Amino acid sequence: MVNMRLIFLGTSAAVPTSKRGLSSIALLRGNELLLFDAGEGMQQNFIKAGIGMNKKMKIFITHMHADHCVGLLGLLQTMSLQGRERILDIYGPLRLPEFLKENMRIMNFGLTFNINVHLINNEGIIIKENDYQVSCCNAYHSIPSYSYCLTEFERPGIFSIEEAKHLGIPEGKLYHELQHGQDITYEGKIIKSNQIMGPARPGRKVGISGDTRPTSRLQHFFKDCDVLVFESTYSYEKYHKALESFHSTATEAAQLAKAAGVKKLVLTHFSPRYEETTHLVQEAKTIHKNVEAAEDLKIADIHYREKQK
């Protein structure tokens, strides 16, 4: 089992407030950090959260608006000042390398570690690790923008020690082979792995919308997410403002989450006009029952699904 949690480092839209910084979400999975966006000043909450500057890390930028990417410069410089040595992978839109190169040249700072910048120009899988993958989907915003999903692969079913003992199988190598899906021959009998192993157990799926209007494509992309973090810049009474600025309302976020079969919806990226977000949550809850509002430094643990397939 791998622990997974979200830490919200910035939850305001466009400009910070006294209680909310600009967009940034940390997804901690085991000993790895996946960071989604880096709005200006996010590193203060990054430090407060005790995440650590030298972790195994991947950074994903949704789009090249200042409130989602300007903080990347300060974060990289702070990592260097603290002596980071690990290679860092950064994923994002086509103008990301130009943004990094020109700003680092103008500010005249180098890095103590290597970075690999991976350009995204197509939808689909962008990372495939041993036990999870990260995919992207075109968002619908005023400039090119991407939404992301982390999807864990299925875990093996539960090993039945009782059944193994009933069949007289000795502990050790044969247990290991059965646990890894291999059929074995013991005392002249073929014993199939599925006689001992329960059904495969689903992994977890986490979606990050970035800035976007809701679309049918995103509804499909976020299907069956355990947790979906979706922007909720406005209440529904500001629908026309959301439409004009290519953002979403709390109602629209909930409608998409419900249609996609999302287990939990977390609203974020709130307009600074809202000093508190209770009414936005209540608005969304009239459509989707499991809704929370993100707050700076709020932690959300993501558990495995109890029900097996």
Q: Are 119 and 220 in the same domain? A: yes
Q: Are 71 and 214 in the same domain? A: yes
Q: Are 208 and 297 in the same domain? A: yes
Q: Are 189 and 112 in the same domain? A: no
Pairing of strands 291-293, 264-268: parallel
CATH number at residue 50: 3.60.15.10
Question: Angle formed by the axes of helices 96-107 and 71-81, to 10°?
Answer: 60
Q: Are 171 and 269 in the same domain? A: no
Q: Are 113 and 245 in the same domain? A: yes
The residue among 196, 218, 246 that closes a domain is: 196
Domain around 253? 4-155+201-301
Mean pLDDT across the chain: 94
The pLDDT of residue 163 is 83
**Residue 205 placed within a domain:** yes
**Residue 35 placed within a domain:** yes
d(CA 234, CA 252): 10
| Residue range 26-55: mean pLDDT, rounded | 97
| Residue range 90-107: mean pLDDT, rounded | 96
Q: Are 82 and 119 in the same domain? A: yes
Give the pLDDT band (50/70/90) at residue 177: confident
The pLDDT of residue 308 is 41
Q: Are 91 and 171 in the same domain? A: no
Give the pLDDT band (50/70/90) at residue 134: very high
Dump pLDDT digits (tens) for 183-220: 888 888 888 888 888 888 899 999 999 999 999 999 99
Give the pLDDT band (50/70/90) at residue 160: confident
CB neighbour list of residue 220: distance below 8 Å, 6 or more residues apart = 260
- Looking at the structure of the chain, the number of domains it has is 2
Q: What is the pTM of this model?
A: 0.90
Residue 307 has pLDDT above 60, yes or no: no
Q: Are 185 and 278 in the same domain? A: no
Active site residues: 67
Q: What region does 261 belong to: left with phi over 0, alpha with psi -120 to 50, or beta?
A: left
Q: Are 257 and 128 in the same domain? A: yes
**Residue 57 placed within a domain:** yes
